[in-house]
Chains A and B, each alone.
Chain A
Amino acid sequence: MTLAEAATAATYDNRAAFADELIERARADERVVAVCNDSVGSSNLVAFRQEFPDRLINVGIAEQNMVGVGAGLAAAGLIPFVCAAGPFLTGRALEQVKADVVYSAHNVILCGMSPGMAYGELGPTHHSVEDLSWLRALPGLDIVVPADRHQTRQAVRQAAADPRPTYIRVGRYKVPDVTAPGDRLERGRFQLAREGADVTLIGAGTLVSRTLAAADLLAADGIEARVLNAAYIAPLDVEAIRAAAQTGAIVTAEEANISGGLGAAVALTVAAQGGGPVVRTLGLSDFAPTGSTDMLLEYFGLTAPAIAAAAREALAV
């Protein structure tokens, strides 16, 4: 997508896609239930509750119990989608996520709502930028970061059909489509969003559209950037990363802390094989100051011009 297109493109709320698909799954399979922490509204579960009042389990403001209850529901044979704002789901209940869900291999779908810096001015307590680092340390947990409404729906559909524990990051603010409804979300694979051999840009979630726009800026300078949509962060697409290492440089962009998320995973993979290009990882390296989401994305260099500039610098090394 060009910058001009991005500026005028229609945008969509991933939470709406999430809610619609969850209701469809619940209609198709009576084992599908939702669990939340007083977040019926913010997790977009109002319509779900109306249609399936008994299958919406709201444990109140009690995240440790919420995740434990999710594990128990899965153990009983249900398919629970445990929904809460990202920081509280993954931070407050991290040990429950580790021991009760992932280590116990229970089929729980953890839904981190409103991740990244979606809560802007509410500040770092409400930002979920550590989730990818924390959760990537748990072997056996699938981590899905859908980039748009189509991928969000597919992520929900696939998680409902797959017995593995899964974490889905469900974006809050509207983003443009970067995939078509028919594009397949493949487990453990990055999606090729744009061909190019000079440099590789790897974006996750909310940053995929910005990364595509950065590729347009680079193209204007005669630099052809490959763009990868890292919808799955675990399992990691090692093959795509090794192929990216054949281009002149790699730039990753994520709405997350850089110590442990997508960028760290890519850099580790490139370094381990040796002889690779420069890898620049864009993301957060500090708690955010007060500001809107847009302001904060700019502050941390997560805009199309900043991503393009990082690519040019990396190529110049």
Chain B
Amino acid sequence: MRGSAVLVTDSQQVSAWRVVRDVVETGSPAERAAVLAEQSRLIRRSVLAMIGRAQAGHIGGDFSVTDVLATLYFGVLRIDPARPDAPVRDRFILSKGHCAASLYSTLAFSGYFDPAALDTFMGPHSPLNGHPNRVKVPGVETNTGPLGHGLPVAVGEALGARLLGHDSRVFVVCGDGEMQEGSNWEALMSAAHYRLANLTLVIDRNRLQQGDRTEETNALDPLADKLAAFGWEVREVDGHDHTALLAAFAPAAGTRPVAVIANTIKGRGVSFIEDRVEWHHKVPSPDQIALALKELA
């Protein structure tokens, strides 16, 4: 099915990705943090441009998850963007598929496709739909968009890797509001039951959902206690601290699956967008984009 993908590997960009990967793998802690912060800045600027062009998108969630994505793709996932279908590879699923702009930017900067394609985001017949489609975009593992889908699929991938004897790890990012979906709690039970230590769930805990604060809508706290009670190894970190994220994404300590609660700020990186419910999917004006780009300079 991947044969019908319109987008293909950009080898020049893969080389650029490898240079950054090398720094993260061999550099000092300070160098590591610096290059990941730079990738995050580039992703946020790209998201801003994409949403400005498309006049649509989900800027708040894109910005809260950016540092998680940059850390995973430039520092953690054992992937080869030149061979997106390699049978043995780490898997990543963005369950909160509405934050496609940040995923597409990350994939493009990793070399899965030419970053020039980002200009077509949500345009007519673009492979870059408002929600990711694996058939059209290399690097996307499964189609997401409706909430509560990514974690069950990730459980299947983790089980499958074990059955096939692959040492792949599976990472899935859910929004915190998304943890209100019942399907996620079905999957949390399964992952613990099968002791899927090769599975890491990252919860983008920005405490806002489309209409209000999560705790004012359908409270999630005490989230860490709930996940622990479901049999998960829980790690809680600052979701914008690349060094802390790198540590949190280390393999499981034992046989339990790992849940990383990444405490984040929705809209992180642009002062007037940060932690405001109205910026869930509001589109910035040209003046606001200019201001935001200054803050992300």
Q: Which residues of A are in contact with B by a Cβ distance under 8 Å?
A: 31, 33, 54-55, 57, 59-60, 62, 64-78, 80, 95-96, 99-100, 103-106, 163
Q: List 7 A-B contacts (CB under 8 A).
A: A62-B186, A72-B157, A72-B158, A76-B163, A78-B163, A96-B183, A106-B142
Please give, as numbers and ranges, the residues of chain A lying within 8 Å of B187 by CB-CB distance: 65, 68-69
With a CB–CB cut-off of 8 A, which chain B residues contact A104? 134-135, 142-143
**Complex Cα gap A80–B153 (Å):** 13
- A72 CB → nearest B CB, Å: 2
Closest to A71 in B: B153
Which 5 pairs show the lowest CB-CB distances between chains A and B? Answer: A72-B156, A68-B152, A76-B160, A65-B186, A62-B186
Closest beta carbon of chain A to B71's beta carbon, Å = 23
Name the contact of B149 in the complex, choosing from A55, A59, A68 (C-beta under 8 A): A68
A69–B160 Cα gap in the complex (Å)?
9
Give the docked Cα–Cα distance between A169 and B28 (Å).
59
Residues of A within 8 A of B76 (CB): none
**By the criterion CB–CB under 8 Å, are B149 and A100 in contact?**
yes
Query: Which residues on the B side are within 8 Å of A57 (C-beta)?
Result: 159
Chain B residues positioned under 8 Å from A80 (CB to CB): 156
Residue B1 at the chain A interface, CB threshold 8 Å: yes
Answer whether residue B164 sits at the interface, using C-beta atoms and an 8 A cutoff: yes
Given contacts A60-B189, A104-B143, contact A72 B1 (CB under 8 A): no
In this assembly, does B141 line the interface, its C-beta being within 8 Å of a C-beta of chain A? yes
Contact between A69 and B155 (Cβ–Cβ < 8 Å)? yes
Q: Does B248 contact A (CB under 8 A)?
A: no
Measured CB to CB, the nearest residue on chain A to B144 is: A99
Interface residue B91 (Cβ < 8 Å from any Cβ of A): yes
Does chain A have a CB within 8 A of B123?
Answer: no
Instruction: Specify which chain B residues have a CB less than 8 angstroms from the CB of A95 in the assembled complex.
Output: 146, 149
B residues within 8 Å of A by Cβ? Answer: 1, 87, 91, 133-135, 141-146, 148-149, 151-161, 163-164, 166, 168, 182-183, 186-187, 189-190, 193
A-B contact sample (12 more), CB < 8 A, given A65-B190, A76-B164, A99-B145: A55-B163, A62-B190, A64-B148, A65-B186, A65-B187, A68-B151, A75-B91, A75-B153, A76-B161, A78-B160, A96-B149, A99-B144
Residues of B within 8 A of A72 (CB): 142, 152-160
Q: Which residue of B lies closest to A105 (CB)?
A: B1
Residues of B with C-beta under 8 A to A54: 163
Q: Which A residue sits closest to B188, measured CB to CB? A: A65
What residue in chain B is nearest A76 (Cβ atoms)? Answer: B160
A99 to B145 CA separation, bound complex (whole angstroms): 8
Partner of B183, one of A64, A73, A76: A64
A75 and B141 contact, CB distance less than 8 A: yes
Q: Within the assembled complex, what's the spacing in Å between the Cα atoms of A129 and B212?
A: 40
> How many angstroms from the CA of A299 to the CA of B91 in the assembled complex?
52
| CB nearest neighbor in A for B150 | A68
> Considering residues B133, B146, B183, which has the most beta carbons from chain A within 10 angstroms of its beta carbon?
B183
The residue in chain A whose Cβ has the minimal distance to the Cβ of B135 is: A105
**Bound complex: CA A67 to CA B149 (Å):** 10
Would A65 and B159 count as touching, CB distance under 8 A? Answer: no
B1 touching A68 by the CB < 8 A rule?
no
CA distance A76 to B151 in the complex (A): 14
Contact B157 A163 (CB under 8 A): no
- Residues on A with beta carbons closer than 8 Å to the beta carbon of B156: 68-76, 80
Residues of B near A74 (CB, < 8 A) are: 156, 160
Contacts of B159 in A (CB 8 A): 57, 69, 72-73, 76
Q: Are B160 and A73 in contact (CB under 8 A)?
A: yes
User: What's the nearest-Cβ distance from chain A to residue B95, in Å?
Assistant: 10
Indicate if the CB atoms of A69 and B161 lie closer than 8 Å: no
Expressed in whole angstroms, the Cα–Cα distance for A65 and B150 within the complex equals: 10
A76 to B183, CA, bound (A): 20
Shortest CB distance B164–A (Å): 6
**Which of A31, A62, A76 gathers most chain B CB within 10 Å?**
A76
Using known A-B contacts A99-B143, A103-B143, A105-B134, determine if residue A68 contacts B164 with beta carbons closer than 8 Å: no
Write the chain B residue with the least CB distance to A57: B159
What A residues does B145 contact at CB under 8 A? 99
Whether A100 and B143, one on each chain, are in contact in the complex, defined by CB atoms closer than 8 angstroms, is: yes
Asked if B160 and A77 sit within 8 Å, CB to CB, the answer is yes
The CA of A211 and the CA of B152, in the complex, are separated in Å by 42
CA distance A31 to B166 in the complex (A): 13
Q: A69 to chain B: which residues have CB within 8 Å?
A: 152-153, 155-156, 159, 187, 190
B182's partner among A64, A73, A78 (CB-CB below 8 A) is A64
* A64 in contact with B160 given A99-B145, A100-B143, A100-B153 (CB within 8 Å): no
Instruction: Tell me if A68 and B161 are in contact (CB < 8 A).
Output: no
Closest to A72 in B: B156
Question: Across the two chains, which residue of chain A brings its CB closest to B134?
Answer: A104
Query: How far apart are A35's CB and chain B's nearest CB, in angstroms?
Result: 8
Measured CB to CB, the closest approach of chain A to B257, in angstroms, equals 13
- Chain B residue contacts of A70, Cβ below 8 A: 156
* In the bound complex, CA of A195 to CA of B32 (Å): 75
Expressed in whole angstroms, the Cα–Cα distance for A106 and B135 within the complex equals 10
Taking the closest CB of chain A, its distance from the CB of B81, in whole angstroms, is 18
Cβ–Cβ contact A77 & B164, under 8 A: yes
Would you give the shortest CB distance from A26 to chain B, in whole angstroms?
A: 12
Measured between beta carbons, the chain B residues less than 8 angstroms from A67 are 152
Tell whether, in the assembled complex, residue B190 and residue A59 are in contact, meaning their CB atoms are under 8 Å apart.
yes
Q: Which residues of B contact A73 (CB under 8 A)?
A: 156-157, 159-160, 163
Judging by beta carbons under 8 Å apart, are B152 and A96 in contact? yes
> In the complex the two chains form, what is the Cα distance from A73 to B164 in whole Å?
10
Give Cα A158–Cα B149 distance, bound, in whole angstroms: 28
Whether A65 pairs with B183 at a CB distance below 8 angstroms is: yes
Q: B142 to A59, Cβ gap below 8 A?
A: no
